[in-house]
């Protein structure tokens, strides 16, 4: 069964030309209660016309419009949108495509614009209704080409600080363009601009609600599934299949038959937890099938994760076909459909054919619900969540009264632990080790109060061994990696910094490293000290901004520094075994800290020497041991978040003065520091200037 496209007179259709941000456009628009759908930018004109959109957005992309293989919309597209009164918005590459195809000129820009830039609104426009002429805003740009001559009838709405075109429009022909990415968080007012365009310019009424999605899906399922048809639902124990099962059960009642397959690749005590949820909380009968030997037998000797996915997908269908045959004998009719909890990101990751949204991307993985299905499958598919993102599925689950605690569970892949064991899953006791480590990891995160802040956390069994000490004995055993990431929709993810905002607050769970027996009093002091240092850091930054200029606190504190986080590090500098009483020993060589503010509490006065101190510059410093004893210090670092883009405001740079550093992302700088300082940190310090030089060389 094809997942229906909602019949909406307000559909916003996004043509994807390969931008890494395209999925964000879809999500941002849905947040406005407007349904949006993403398809390939090279889809046929018939595909587009069948969807009957009110608005079409042309996404950004990595290509130049001058490239031989540059993707473009289908022939007849311009005539179609103009004859049907469809609004068109081009973003970045999309703007350049509009300009080129309508008779303007796009050329290689004299000044390529990457990162955070400031634009100024030049004329009245529905795009910037709230700001007006002369208003300025910070945006995120990423382009090398630029529009140097606009098509007839178009006008420049906004320009960048470097004088290039930032926004264009032709209200009469209903074409608009933005030479920046309003969908990313680094364009703070981007959502306002998108809202202005869709609500004010296009006149769309925000009427798309998850309740409507539920009603539409139930209606379609009842239309497709005949009154005497029976349906099998494959339960994995995850949020997606659970919500899908609950939805279909509401549509067809007891004609839904849920089956849970124990394939030997499940989490710790997963089977009993899932059975309890469905039978006691959701009141849905579930049949549990033991297929451990079947799955592990097929996976024996298989190392390639892609092959594992294909095998698992095939075996699942085999099990479901067998279950369907058995069920047929009981009910006197063979089940016709199979329900799966496939999501929109699953389809995108599996790189479907043109018309499904990511034809310019390489396959990320074959999803077990998509690329892993055999062509001769006897059951027809029902995928009621196929157009939804993860957070939307959770919202739908709330409406369906799925327990909130279950909806917050971290995602677990259908192939299970098979893809978290890097190697043969049947070798030794890899699966059992991984289950236990994963359970300990998850429970530790919950105890620390971090579980809900992490989108997904899990352990990975690595195909290597390492030496260690257990008790008084040397060991040579397996290595397991721990991973924790944050995400909104499963499309992009950032590493979760365990030493981030809650590091000192969760110190109670790690004092055994410092004390034997653990000291709860010390944990409480650490927590209080960390909170005090955070308050002091905020005050210091407000004072610094106030010294830089009038109004800087109001203008820059909230957008630039409100998401900074602090973490503590207890440092023990040890001297060499042989050292004279009066000799100065370098405990740590010249370096600069990566944090915004560093506050050091130390047990010796004068041990930290600052070698230079400039205006708003990280001080280069070293650590000196003045006597042959260990020196302890408690360092508090107040840092930007990983995805923060650092770019000096124009007021700081000064009119007519050169910008010393290109805009850069904090996590990139952190990785640069980590890779550059291996074996050198004790003697050589690296600064943001070194990183900026590297950036310049790279471009």
- 639 part of the active site: no
- Find out whether 320 and 260 touch, Cβ atoms under 8 Å: no
Omega before 275 within 30 of 0, i.e. cis: no
Report the distance separating Cα 563 and Cα 645, nearest Å: 12
CA-CA distances (angstroms) from residue 543 to 46, 66, 540, 553, 640?
Answer: 60, 50, 5, 8, 18
- 181 part of the active site: yes
**DSSP code at position 172:** T
CA nearest neighbour of 571 among 594, 602, 545 = 602
Report the distance separating Cα 165 and Cα 146, nearest Å: 7
Tell me which H or E stretch contains 323: helix 305-331
Residues 6+ apart with CB under 8 A from 629: 575
Report the distance separating Cα 309 and Cα 431, nearest Å: 16
Report the distance separating Cα 264 and Cα 300, nearest Å: 12
**DSSP code at position 519:** -
Bridging pattern class, strands 286-290 and 256-262? parallel
Report the distance separating Cα 353 and Cα 695, nearest Å: 36
HSE value, Cβ hemisphere, 13 Å, CA-based, for 371: 19
Cβ count near 110 (within 10 Å): 10
Grouping H, G, I as helix, E, B as strand and the rest as coil, residue 696 is: helix
CA-CA distances (angstroms) from residue 219 to 247, 251, 256, 385, 530?
Answer: 11, 8, 16, 14, 54
Q: Enumerate the known binding-site residues for ATP.
A: 236-242
HSE value, Cβ hemisphere, 13 Å, CA-based, for 258: 27
Report the distance separating Cα 291 and Cα 311, nearest Å: 14
CA-CA distances (angstroms) from residue 234 to 237, 326, 342, 343, 500?
Answer: 9, 15, 11, 14, 38
Q: Report residue 379 as tokens.
A: 């059951």
Catalytic-labelled residue, pool 23, 143, 181, 621? 181
- 152 part of the active site: no
Q: Enumerate the known binding-site residues.
A: 236-242
Q: Report residue 356 as tokens.
A: 């499904």
Grouping H, G, I as helix, E, B as strand and the rest as coil, residue 23 is: helix
Nearest-10 crossing angle of helices 292-299, 305-331: 150
Report the distance separating Cα 418 and Cα 435, nearest Å: 11
Catalytic-labelled residue, pool 113, 146, 169, 183? 183
Report how far Cα 171 is from the mean position of its chain's Cα atoms: 35
**DSSP code at position 513:** G
Catalytic-labelled residue, pool 23, 38, 63, 92? 92
3-class SS string, 409-438: CCCCCCCHHHHCECCCCCCCCHHHHHHHHH
- Find out whether 446 and 413 touch, Cβ atoms under 8 Å: no
Grouping H, G, I as helix, E, B as strand and the rest as coil, residue 55 is: strand
User: Which residue do the tokens 């009842």 mark?
Assistant: 222
Dihedral angle at the C-alpha atoms of 512, 517, 521, 526, nearest 10 degrees? -20
Q: Report the catalytic residues.
A: 92, 181, 183
């Amino acid at each position: 069964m094809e997942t229906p496209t909602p019949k909406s007179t307000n559909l916003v259709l996004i043509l994807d030309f390969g931008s890494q941000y395209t999925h964000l456009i879809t999500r941002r628009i849905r947040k406005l209660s407007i349904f949006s759908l993403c398809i390939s930018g090279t889809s046929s004109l018939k595909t587009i016309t069948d969807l009957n959109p009110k608005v079409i957005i042309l996404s950004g992309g990595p290509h130049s419009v001058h490239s031989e293989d540059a993707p473009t919309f289908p022939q007849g597209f311009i005539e179609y949108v103009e004859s049907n009164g469809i609004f068109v918005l081009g973003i970045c590459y999309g703007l350049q495509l509009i300009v080129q195809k309508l008779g303007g000129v796009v050329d290689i820009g004299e000044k390529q614009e990457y990162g955070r830039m400031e634009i100024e609104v030049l004329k009245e426009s529905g795009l910037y209704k709230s700001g007006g002429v002369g208003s300025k805003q910070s945006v995120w740009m990423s382009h090398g080409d630029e529009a140097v001559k606009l098509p007839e009838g178009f006008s420049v709405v906004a320009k960048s600080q470097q004088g290039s075109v930032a926004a264009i429009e032709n209200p009469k022909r209903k074409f608009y363009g933005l030479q920046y990415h309003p969908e990313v968080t680094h364009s703070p007012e981007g959502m306002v601009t998108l809202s202005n365009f869709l609500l004010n310019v296009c006149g769309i009424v925000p009427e798309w609600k998850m309740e409507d999605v539920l009603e539409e899906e139930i209606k379609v399922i009842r239309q497709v599934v005949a009154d005497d048809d029976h349906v099998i639902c494959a339960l994995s124990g995850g949020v997606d299949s659970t919500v899908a099962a609950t939805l279909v059960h509401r549509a067809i009642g007891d004609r839904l038959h849920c089956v849970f397959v124990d394939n030997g690749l499940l989490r710790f005590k997963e089977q009993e937890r899932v059975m309890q949820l469905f039978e006691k909380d959701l009141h849905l009968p579930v049949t549990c099938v033991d297929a451990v030997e079947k799955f592990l037998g097929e996976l024996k000797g298989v190392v390639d994760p892609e092959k594992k996915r294909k095998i698992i997908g095939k075996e699942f269908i085999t099990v479901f076909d067998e279950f369907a045959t058995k069920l047929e004998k009981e009910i006197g009719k063979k089940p016709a459909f199979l329900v799966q909890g496939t999501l929109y990101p699953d389809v995108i990751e599996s790189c479907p054919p043109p018309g499904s949204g990511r034809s310019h991307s390489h396959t990320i993985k074959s999803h077990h619900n998509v690329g892993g299905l055999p062509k001769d499958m006897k059951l027809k598919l029902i995928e009621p969540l196929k157009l939804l993102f993860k957070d939307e599925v959770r919202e739908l689950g709330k409406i369906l009264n799925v327990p909130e605690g279950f909806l917050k569970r971290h995602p677990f892949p259908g192939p299970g632990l098979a893809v978290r064991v890097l190697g043969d899953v049947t070798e030794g006791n890899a699966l059992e080790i991984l289950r236990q480590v994963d359970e300990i990891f998850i429970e530790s995160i919950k105890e620390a109060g971090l579980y809900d802040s992490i989108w997904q956390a899990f352990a990975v069994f690595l195909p290597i061994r390492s030496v260690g000490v257990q008790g008084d004995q040397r060991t040579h055993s397996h290595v397991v990696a721990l991973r924790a990431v944050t995400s909104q929709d499963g499309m992009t993810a950032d590493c979760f910094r365990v030493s981030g905002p809650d590091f000192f607050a969760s110190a109670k769970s790690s004092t055994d490293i410092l004390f034997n027996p653990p000291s709860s009093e010390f944990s409480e002091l650490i927590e209080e000290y960390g909170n005090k240092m955070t308050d002091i850091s905020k005050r210091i930054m407000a004072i610094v901004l106030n010294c830089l200029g009038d109004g800087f606190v109001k203008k820059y504190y909230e957008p630039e520094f409100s998401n900074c986080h602090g973490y503590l590090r207890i440092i023990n500098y040890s001297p060499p075994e042989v050292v004279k009483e009066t000799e100065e020993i370098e405990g740590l060589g010249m370096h600069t800290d990566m944090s915004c503010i560093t506050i050091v509490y130390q047990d010796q006065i004068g041990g930290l020497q600052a070698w230079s101190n400039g205006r708003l510059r990280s001080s280069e410093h070293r650590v000196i041991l003045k006597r042959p004893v260990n020196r302890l210090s408690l360092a508090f670092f107040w840092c930007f978040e990983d995805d923060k883009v650092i770019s000096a405001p124009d007021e700081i740079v000064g009119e007519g003065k050169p910008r010393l550093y290109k805009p850069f992302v904090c996590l990139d700088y952190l990785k640069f520091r980590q890779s550059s300082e291996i074996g050198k940190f004790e003697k050589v310090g690296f600064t943001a200037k070194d990183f900026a030089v590297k950036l310049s060389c790279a471009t």
